[in-house]
């Protein structure tokens, strides 16, 4: 039997999530190559205890998908209250690196780029309030326009 190594599912070079690409049978020597996802309830060792991934998912949600470096980044990000400049200073990394690591965390948690909250309604509200302040629209018009934006958000 070949020696096996434990892995946490992340690339040791860049921290990106890795996928299973080869499965082999120790008994008969057959193997499959391709892109695979694991099914069932594999167990993982956390704090010295074997726990099923389903139990971890139920308790910690998508955070269980993160490797140690990603968890550390999330902790710093939260301590900095999401202020990227503070994350840069605390970790000694550049703005693009912070954005890249944040993107990797979101990807590992299963969020796509389509999940982000749109800033369009916020900008539209600011424009309406600026028009009201400049006297370009009436208070009633501003109320109506803001109500329309709120309806679109729901």
Task: Report pLDDT for 66.
Answer: 84
> Is 53 among the domain residues?
yes
107 and 126 within one domain? no
* pLDDT tens track, the chain, 154 positions: 556 666 666 677 777 777 777 878 888 888 888 776 655 445 555 555 555 556 666 667 778 888 889 999 999 999 999 999 999 999 999 999 999 999 899 888 888 765 555 667 778 888 899 999 999 999 999 999 888 887 765 5
101 and 28 within one domain? yes
> Is 77 among the domain residues?
yes
Token duo for residue 67 = 């490797």
Residue 14 backbone zone (phi > 0: left; psi -120 to 50: alpha; other: beta): alpha
Q: Where are the alpha helices (DSSP H) in the chain?
A: 53-60, 68-79, 84-91, 95-108, 120-133, 139-153
Find the length of the chain.
Answer: 154
124 and 90 within one domain? no
137 and 83 within one domain? no
Q: Which residues are within 8 A (CB) of 41 and not within 5 positions of it... i.e. 6 or more apart? A: 52, 53, 54
146 and 87 within one domain? no
> Is 106 among the domain residues?
yes
> Is 9 among the domain residues?
no
Token duo for residue 109 = 């948690």
126 and 67 within one domain? no
Enclosing domain of residue 40: 20-115
> Is 5 among the domain residues?
no
126 and 96 within one domain? no
The model's pTM: 0.43
> Using alpha carbons only, what angle is made at residue 88 by residues 117 and 13, rounded to the nearest 5 degrees?
90
Task: Report pLDDT for 78.
Answer: 94
Task: Report pLDDT for 20.
Answer: 72
**Overall domain count for the chain:** 2
102 and 42 within one domain? yes
106 and 149 within one domain? no
104 and 125 within one domain? no
26 and 72 within one domain? yes
106 and 78 within one domain? yes
Burial class of 2 by CB neighbour count within 10 A (0 to 12, 13 to 18, 19+):
exposed
């Amino acid at each position: 039997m070949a020696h096996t190594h434990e892995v946490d599912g992340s690339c040791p070079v860049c921290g990106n999530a890795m996928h299973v690409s080869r499965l082999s049978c120790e008994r008969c020597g057959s193997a499959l190559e391709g892109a695979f996802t694991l099914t069932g309830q594999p167990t993982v060792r956390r704090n010295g205890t074997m726990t099923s991934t389903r139990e971890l998912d139920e308790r910690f949600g998508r955070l269980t998908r993160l490797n140690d470096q990603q968890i550390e980044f999330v902790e710093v990000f939260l301590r900095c209250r999401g202020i990227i400049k503070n994350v840069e200073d605390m970790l000694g990394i550049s703005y693009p690196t912070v954005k890249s690591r944040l993107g990797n965390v979101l990807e590992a948690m299963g969020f796509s780029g389509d999940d982000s909250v749109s800033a369009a309604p916020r900008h539209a509200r600011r424009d309406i309030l600026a028009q009201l302040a400049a006297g370009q629209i009436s208070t009633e018009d501003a109320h109506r326009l803001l109500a329309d934006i709120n309806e679109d958000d729901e």
